[in-house]
A and B are shown apart, each in its own frame.
Chain A
């Protein structure tokens, strides 16, 4: 093998602009924080990590283009990246073809298994099931489903429909918005909500439209106590964009909130603010992006190579202390064992944790075990 000081070159693919740029930028920050920490401590086996960063600007085509560039031209074998399922599906074929490893730090709709992805966000059994149970028990079982029009919301709503109807509840309506939906597109939904008066609004709206939607809700004079918005993806990042009091009282299920109380998280939040500014809040996506870099570094320290066929087995089954708590990667399906938490947004832009699991839950992306 011989000694070397050649750096570990990795690809980083998160948007810094466009409709999902705001949340993806926090994933970029989480990634950069993890890398900086490892490099400051001497790198991996004395070798520095060098990120090659491209900005796909929330465009599927650019995701595909930059994945090509990273894998073919820059010749990296590890990529940290992707937020929407559309972007993941755009880079997946090439990642599989060249046998690279994609680290995907976003909760998603499940029903996928790629031997070339390490999934570090929640699967439906870890968030959707819990959130629906909570909402039905606390607020009632007449659900109004609203999402952005692509695979994550549509597939998630298929699961939500089963869960709600399975408990004797009903789906009042299922509506979808374009990625760039604004107040004009949202107005008819607000009118429908006023007429139909569901117990719960279940939102899989993503990106900039989230702010418009919550703002329109607040403008209409609705109150979260009677008709809360439940979401799997509205995080601290979106709350701060919409103006913090606008989101107050609404419900989100996530593995991580910045209010999680443990030593690891205190440290993570402190470093994040130090590096990116006091007003910056951590969130579920930034946290997953952060801990997966450490997970990667631990595994590479052991294998001393990034070759997928050697690195991947070293990642599977590995555990690490993450800001959300102790987490692990499942041997069988390469999804993460993560914590389940239900949070209620405060008017300070954080979440009060109203429920949390006792331990990390095993991932079951196909809902079969």
Chain B
């Protein structure tokens, strides 16, 4: 693909690139292996009672290659310095660690005991992104960690997007209020009121939203 190709060579190029692309592997095995290696180097908080099941689980998580710290009951404060939390979810755990049903700072994988019936109500109250049923193998642990991470990151992106949109919505409302105040107080037309706000914003190097908020606040004081 150089500029010496014949003019109008688009369709030729298209077919060419398509052929070459389809002969390439979908995604290199290397890239996938890299993601797996990264996952195996994670640091995991394992919140599980120190019983025989806990010991077995600790052993299996270690076999994945992850570094593990075990604790029970789960810490009251959100875990920092970890990449994941694997938590034996029950009502006690939810009561001991409020962050589990709030906004966990890391992806959470719940662990439940298959023999005791599935505690779907407890799962619903937790913010776990994946569930392991004991006893579990390293492969199951790793795939659940990978899934939890995906969902956790997606949720985070959506929450950030929502936060930005809410901020914008709020700003729009304040600009409308500020415009109304100016229209009433200074007998301006809508576009004049907006131009006034924009000029103020420019001369004070602030956003129209910030100027509007200040005006609405100040008006609240004198009214």
Interface residues of A (CB under 8 A from B): 4, 6-7, 9, 25, 28-29, 32, 35-37, 39-40, 50-53, 73-75, 96-97, 99, 113-116, 162-163, 166-168, 271, 274-278, 309, 366, 368-369
> Once the chains bind, are A166 and B189 in contact (CB under 8 Å)?
yes
Say whether, besides A75-B27, A166-B189, A369-B208, A276 and B164 are in contact (CB < 8 Å): no
Question: In this complex, what residue of B is CB-closest to A75?
Answer: B27
Counting chain B CB atoms within 10 Å of each CB, the highest count among A4, A96, A163, A369 belongs to A369
> Once the chains bind, are A368 and B175 in contact (CB under 8 Å)?
yes
Question: In this complex, what residue of B is CB-closest to A369?
Answer: B207
CA distance A59 to B7 in the complex (A): 28
6 residue pairs from A and B, CB less than 8 Å apart: A73-B26, A116-B157, A276-B7, A276-B9, A309-B153, A368-B175
Say whether, besides A40-B1, A50-B17, A368 and B164 are in contact (CB < 8 Å): no
B20 within 8 A of partner (CB) = yes
> Once the chains bind, are B168 and A50 in contact (CB under 8 Å)?
no
CB B191 to nearest CB in A, in angstroms, measures 3
> Once the chains bind, are B168 and A366 in contact (CB under 8 Å)?
yes
Counting chain A CB atoms within 10 Å of each CB, the highest count among B14, B24, B27, B28 belongs to B14
Find A166's partner among B20, B171, B194, B207 (CB 8 Å cutoff). B194
Question: In this complex, what residue of B is CB-closest to A111?
Answer: B168
CA distance A348 to B67 in the complex (A): 70
In addition to A7-B24, A113-B161, A114-B161, 4 A-B residue pairs with Cβ atoms within 8 Å of each other are: A4-B30, A6-B30, A74-B21, A369-B171
Say whether, besides A9-B24, A50-B21, A75-B27, A97 and B189 are in contact (CB < 8 Å): no
Say whether, besides A99-B157, A368-B208, A369-B208, A275 and B26 are in contact (CB < 8 Å): no
> Once the chains bind, are A368 and B209 in contact (CB under 8 Å)?
yes
Contact flags B139-181 to A (C-beta < 8 A → 1, else 0): 0000000000000011001101100110010011001000000
Question: In this complex, what residue of A is CB-closest to B173?
Answer: A368
B190 within 8 A of partner (CB) = yes
CA distance A271 to B5 in the complex (A): 11
CB B37 to nearest CB in A, in angstroms, measures 12
Question: In this complex, what residue of B is CB-closest to A73?
Answer: B26
Q: Which residues of B contact A368 (CB under 8 A)?
A: 168, 171-172, 175, 207-209
> Once the chains bind, are B189 and A40 in contact (CB under 8 Å)?
no
CB A18 to nearest CB in B, in angstroms, measures 16
> Once the chains bind, are B208 and A275 in contact (CB under 8 Å)?
no
Contact flags B1-31 to A (C-beta < 8 A → 1, else 0): 1110101111001100110110010111010
CA distance A304 to B160 in the complex (A): 26
Q: Which residues of A contact B17 (CB under 8 A)?
A: 50-53
CA distance A50 to B172 in the complex (A): 43
Number of interface residues of B (CB under 8 A): 39
> Once the chains bind, are B157 and A96 in contact (CB under 8 Å)?
yes
Q: Which 9 A-B pairs have the closest CB atoms?
A: A166-B191, A75-B27, A369-B207, A277-B7, A52-B21, A36-B1, A368-B171, A366-B168, A75-B26
> Once the chains bind, are B3 and A275 in contact (CB under 8 Å)?
yes
Q: Which residues of B contact A4 (CB under 8 A)?
A: 30
CB B129 to nearest CB in A, in angstroms, measures 14
Question: In this complex, what residue of A is CB-closest to B212?
Answer: A368
Q: Which residues of B contact A51 (CB under 8 A)?
A: 17, 21
Question: In this complex, what residue of B is CB-closest to A11?
Answer: B21
Contact flags B21-61 to A (C-beta < 8 A → 1, else 0): 10010111010000000000000000000000000000000
> Once the chains bind, are A274 and B7 in contact (CB under 8 Å)?
yes
> Once the chains bind, are A275 and B9 in contact (CB under 8 Å)?
yes
Contact flags B190-207 to A (C-beta < 8 A → 1, else 0): 110010000001000001
> Once the chains bind, are A36 and B18 in contact (CB under 8 Å)?
no
Question: In this complex, what residue of A is CB-closest to B17?
Answer: A51
Q: Which residues of A contact B14 (CB under 8 A)?
A: 53
Find A271's partner among B3, B26, B191 (CB 8 Å cutoff). B3
Q: Which residues of A contact B190 (CB under 8 A)?
A: 162, 166
